[in-house]
Copies of this chain bind each other. A is one copy, B any other.
Amino acid sequence: MPFPPLNPDFAARVRESFARQSAMRLIGATLTDVAPGAVTVELPTRDDLTQQHKYVHGGIVGMIADSAGGYAAFTLMPADASVLTVEYKINMLAPAAGERLLARGIVLKPGRTLSIVRADVFGVTAGSEKLVATMQQTLMVMHGMPDEARL
């Protein structure tokens, strides 16, 4: 474990926060693994998530990467903080196809104020994974800001 969590209840907090994200429910994304500094979001592909060529929309690929990355950072934040996306940059490497997509966020550097994260998105077909996108992201630690609050 490269980065020890500051909050022993990090996993429960991440799951509660994710459950409050209506947008993840709308697209059918779920949290799978939650470890210190590493979170995976899974998205079964559906026709109503597609762009004009019937691949998953690049913006939706960005959505699950943003969530996986943001929650990866959140696992390492103190109990009284919430997480805010400052910016992200995503490269599309291949059409987003497969039975489902997996977005894996991993913290590169946690910080008192900012955390830097990478997320890779894979398309999964018959158990085989293909990298479809990679993202680099900056997140802000909002100290003294409960995750439930309207900012």
> A56 → chain B, closest Cβ, in Å?
8
In this assembly, does A128 line the interface, its C-beta being within 8 Å of a C-beta of chain B? no
Residues of A that sit less than 8 Å from B by CB: 17-18, 20-27, 47-60, 62-67, 70, 82, 84-95, 108-109, 113-114, 116, 118, 131, 134, 136, 138, 140, 147-151
Q: How many copies of this chain does one complex carry?
A: 4
Q: Is the CB of A91 within 8 A of B138?
A: yes
> A33 → chain B, closest Cβ, in Å?
19
B residues near A70, Cβ cutoff 8 Å: 58
Q: Is the CB of A60 within 8 A of B23?
A: yes
Q: Is the CB of B136 within 8 A of A136?
A: yes
Additional 15 contacts, C-beta under 8 A, given A62-B62, A95-B151: A22-B48, A23-B49, A53-B82, A53-B147, A53-B151, A57-B67, A58-B88, A59-B60, A84-B92, A85-B92, A87-B92, A91-B108, A109-B131, A113-B113, A116-B134
